[in-house]
Amino acid sequence: MGKTLFDKVWDSHVVDSVENGPQVLYIDQHLIHEVTSPQAFEELENRDIPVFRPRQIIATADHNTPTTNQDLPIKDELSKKQLEQLSTNCSKNNITLYELGHKYNGIVHVMAPELGITQPGMTMVCGDSHTSTHGAFGTIAFGIGTSQVAQVFASQCLLLPKPKSLRVNVNGCLKNGVLPKDVILYIISKLGTNSGTGYFCEYAGSVFETMSMEGRMTVCNMSIEMGARGGMIAPDEITFKYLKNRQFAPSGSDYKNKVAFWKTLASDKNAVFDKEYFFEAEDIEPMITYGTNPGMGIKISDNIPYESNSSFLKSLLYMNLNAGESLINKCVNYVFIGSCTNSRIEDFRVAAKYIKGRRKAENVTAWLVPGSKQVEAQIVEEGLKDVFESAGFKLRQPGCSACLAMNEDKIPKGEYCVSTSNRNFEGRQGPGSRTILASPLVAAATAVAGKIIDITKELETLELT
């Protein structure tokens, strides 16, 4: 029987197997940040265990950082302490840290790929569930808990049962204005939020084969929202080209050898998956969510469905929405373009394309938060910042920001926020906040109109590339 992409990478990283138990998986690259690492360092210290392979760890500060005045001291005492703790832990243990203000600083899942740290065929972990993002490179990448962070510190390995395999195929041509975010929101709305539990998902088909790396990252990022541990896309010419000349990617003859190896990673033709789904690109339209989990999504022009179970009703009550209602013309006062799902340069290009020549609506507070210092610099370089500013938008500094609202970027209670992030849980963007997930295009259109509009009416005439 043939092997899947996932099998190939997983099997080549198995150090050992516990009888009747999990396997010992070797981890090539470990990413850490300020929120889920301190207790792991503490655990090691308490047990007097050294960090086993500090050179295979990269740290960044992102979850808890302010997105304005990053050059000034941090006001929030607890956040400040957490960041200082990260610096202390990294310097004590010889771990490379891209701290606040560093030119490589950014959201962990934005900065590592853009620096070429993420490479095909690797195993990668981070104490953050959206580590699945890196799967866009044909990498086994997944989020872990803090105990596991400590395990990787101690041994560069994890004890895990091998997940099952799932493949989601989307074939055909996406309509103009239908973005990778819509593709993944569509898939999750069809499959539900726990269809992937216990599985690692591979995305295949012409839609992904022609998608940019940024788009693939958006898709893989949200694999966790259908319960899957991670998502992967077979590396191809688009991947190789993206990696070429990145700071930490292999170069010269090393690059050539690596490419030859990376080409072997695709799933074999006769590989069998435990579960497989097929979708048509033509069926996908711009999506929005109406509820409090990412599976509660509809085509922007559709009405909210009718369901009678108590979780569904609780969710609509929280959102102050009704079954059967349309979201079109719903007034929205907050828009967030950012998060590791949609804060890469392409996302800001799309938003800028739409915004150019228009103005932000008076009622809207819009937060545009780049995923990294490098994205921020590119936004300036490409003149997008000017486009945003002349339309009345302000660009903030990089970080997770309103995606999880740990810093001061919080959506007020009761307010709707059209957000390009990945989770619409109760209170995710601040206590009582109501999140509507969408693509950067829908977010930009909402910011301009001050309400949700039926973007499908404009799609044919929109120029996005």
Binding site for ligand SF4 (CB under 6 A): 62-63, 107-109, 128, 130, 339-340, 400, 403-404, 421-422
Q: Which is nearer to ligand SF4, 182 or 225 (CB)?
A: 225
Using the contact rule CB under 8 A, the part of the chain among 99-107, 141-149, 272-280, 281-289 near another protein is 141-149
Place of tokens 């620096």: 115
Helices and strands in the chain, H and E counts: 15, 18
β 416-419/334-337 pair status: parallel
16 makes contact with another protein (CB under 8 A): yes
How many residues sit close enough to another protein to count as binding (CB under 8 A)?
65
CA-angle at 347, arms to 32 and 446, nearest 5°: 115
The residue among 108 and 125 lying less far from ligand SF4, judged by its C-beta, is: 108
For residue 77, the tally of other CB atoms under 10 A from its CB is 8
The CA distance from 42 to 79, in Å, is: 18
CB of 403 to ligand SF4, least distance (A): 3
DSSP-assigned letter for residue 249 = S
The reply to whether 264 sits near another protein by the rule CB under 8 A is no
Quote the CA–CA distance of 269 and 357 in Å, as a whole number. 48
Which positions from 171 through 200 interact with another protein, judged by CB under 8 A?
193-194, 197-198
Q: From the CB of 94, what's the least distance to another protein, in Å?
A: 18
Distance CA 390, CA 103 (A): 26
* Residue 253 found at the interface with another protein (CB under 8 A): no
427 binds another protein (CB under 8 A): yes
Output the CA–CA distances (angstroms, integers) from residue 409 to 337, 368, 396, in the order listed.
Answer: 12, 11, 11
Q: Which does 35 bind (CB under 5 to 8 A by kind): ligand SF4, another protein, none?
A: another protein
Q: Cα–Cα distance between 390 and 464 in angstroms, integer?
A: 19
- Of the candidates 335, 395, 402, the residue with the CA atom closest to the CA atom of residue 370: 395
In DSSP terms, 451 is beta-bridged to 331
Q: Which of 227, 235, 286, 371 binds another protein (CB under 8 A)?
A: 227
Put the strands of the sheet holding 140-143 in their side by side order: 96-98, 57-60, 29-32, 123-126, 140-143
Stretch that binds another protein, among 116-124, 233-241, 372-380, 425-433 (CB under 8 A): 425-433
Q: What are the C-alpha distances in Å from 462 to residues 172, 426, 437?
A: 20, 34, 21
Residue 64 vs residues 47, 247, 339, 402, 408: alpha-carbon distances, Å? 28, 26, 13, 10, 9
* Chosen from another protein, ligand SF4, none, partner binding at 373 (C-beta under 5 to 8 Å by type): none
Judged by CB, which is closer to ligand SF4: 65, or 151? Answer: 65
Instruction: Return the number of the residue (85 or 169) whose C-beta is nearest another protein.
Output: 85
Strands 23-26 and 157-160: antiparallel
- Picked from ligand SF4, another protein, none, the partner binding residue 340 (CB below 5 to 8 A depending on kind) is ligand SF4
Beta bridge partners of 125: 30, 142
203 DSSP β-pair partners? 168
Is residue 213 a contact point for another protein (CB under 8 A)? Answer: no
Q: Which of residues 296-335 bind another protein (CB under 8 A)?
A: 309-311, 314
Which position has the token pair 């872990």? 144
CA nearest to 143, candidates 243, 27, 39: 27
Name which of 4 and 223 has its Cβ closer to ligand SF4: 223
Give me the least distance between CB of 405 and another protein, in Å please: 6
Q: Is the Cβ of residue 177 or residue 227 nearer to another protein in the bound state?
A: 227
Whichever of 194 and 329 has its CB closer to another protein, that residue is: 194
Instruction: Tally the residues of the chain.
Output: 465
Query: Is 64 near another protein (CB under 8 A)?
Result: yes
List the interface residues with another protein, window 19-48 (CB under 8 A).
20-22, 24, 26, 35-36, 38-39, 42-43, 47
Give me the residues that bind another protein (CB under 8 A), please: 15-16, 18, 20-22, 24, 26, 35-36, 38-39, 42-43, 47, 49, 52, 63-64, 76, 78-79, 81-82, 85, 127-129, 143-148, 150-151, 154-159, 161, 193-194, 197-198, 227, 229, 293, 309-311, 314, 404-406, 413, 423, 425-428, 431-432
